[in-house]
């Protein structure tokens, strides 16, 4: 069973963006959790991780932004094919290698995501990355049961994606991109730029710039 979890801050945006793609991609036994945004995204996602960790039949948990529309009815089959490798912990649509902070896009981009701003486009020749964009995080059963958002270091709505990816890689697992057709109905920007800067500083202080970690992919 492949589960999905979406933080819904704007019900109209969820209804117009994520919901149609979920109806297209979800299978008969898929479970959808709609999470509230009255707390940090780290706390909300941890609630989803805690909940779905108890599903023995879980094949993957997809954490999805409310403004992301999945475009492929074969999404679940695509995801299963990638997660057939037990070393893979996290799958995303787009990410990068050489990531040293929350601005992952400053690294060498891999994967692809269509957005209102254009296409974020790398390639899939080497799917292994340091981190993927949190617009879509597909977690393996191992990741669901062993990884958690770091609520002691981060608050708000930034850093969860890159930090989870670094946690997975520090544990010897792989983070990869895969061709997962989607459209990101984004307005662009960081939202709260000051909060993003604070989260970026906390991330850098936590992980530092580690050549050995960057190579462990």
Domains in the chain: boundaries = 2-215
pLDDT band at 189 (very low <50, low <70, confident <90, very high): low
Q: Residue 192 above 90 pLDDT?
A: no
Residue/partner pairs of 82-88 with CB below 8 Å, 24 or more apart: 82/138, 82/176, 82/178, 83/59, 83/138, 83/140, 85/174, 86/140, 86/142, 87/172, 87/173, 87/174, 88/140, 88/173, 88/174, 88/175, 88/176
Per-residue model confidence (pLDDT) at position 117: 86
Q: Both tokens of residue 24?
A: 């297209």
Q: Residue 186 above 90 pLDDT?
A: no
* 116-162 pLDDT per residue, tens: 888 888 888 899 999 999 999 999 999 999 999 999 999 888 999 99
pLDDT band at 36 (very low <50, low <70, confident <90, very high): confident
Does domain 2-215 match CATH 1.10.3720.10? no
Q: Residue 214 above 60 pLDDT?
A: no
- Helices (H) and strands (E) counted in the chain, each on its own, are 8, 12
Q: Cα–Cα distance between 217 and 213 in angstroms, integer?
A: 8
pLDDT band at 208 (very low <50, low <70, confident <90, very high): confident
* 52-108 pLDDT per residue, tens: 999 999 999 999 999 999 999 999 999 999 999 999 999 999 999 999 999 999 999
The pTM of the whole model exceeds 0.85? yes
Q: Residue 200 above 60 pLDDT?
A: yes
Mean pLDDT estimate for the chain: 92
pLDDT band at 188 (very low <50, low <70, confident <90, very high): low
**Radius of gyration of the chain measured on its C-alpha atoms:** 16
């Amino acid at each position: 069973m492949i589960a999905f979890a979406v933080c819904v801050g704007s019900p109209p945006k969820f209804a117009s963006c994520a919901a149609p793609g979920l109806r297209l991609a979800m299978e008969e036994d898929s479970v959808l959790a709609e999470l509230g945004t009255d707390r940090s995204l780290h706390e909300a996602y941890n609630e989803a991780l805690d909940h779905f960790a108890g599903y023995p039949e879980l094949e993957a948990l997809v954490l999805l932004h409310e403004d992301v529309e999945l475009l492929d009815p074969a999404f679940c089959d695509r995801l299963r094919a990638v997660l057939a490798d037990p070393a893979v912990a996290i799958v995303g649509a787009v990410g990068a290698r050489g990531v040293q902070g929350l601005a992952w896009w400053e690294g060498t981009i891999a994967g692809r995501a269509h957005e209102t701003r254009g296409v974020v486009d790398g390639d899939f020749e080497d799917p292994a990355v340091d981190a993927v964009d949190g617009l879509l995080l597909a977690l393996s059963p191992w990741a669901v049961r062993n990884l958690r958002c770091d609520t002691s270091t981060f608050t708000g709505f930034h850093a969860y994606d890159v930090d989870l990816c670094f946690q997975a890689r520090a544990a010897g697992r792989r983070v990869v991109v895969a061709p997962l057709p989607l459209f990101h109905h984004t307005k662009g920007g960081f939202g709260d730029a000051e909060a993003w800067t604070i989260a970026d500083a906390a991330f850098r202080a936590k992980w530092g710039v580690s050549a050995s970690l960057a190579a462990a992919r």
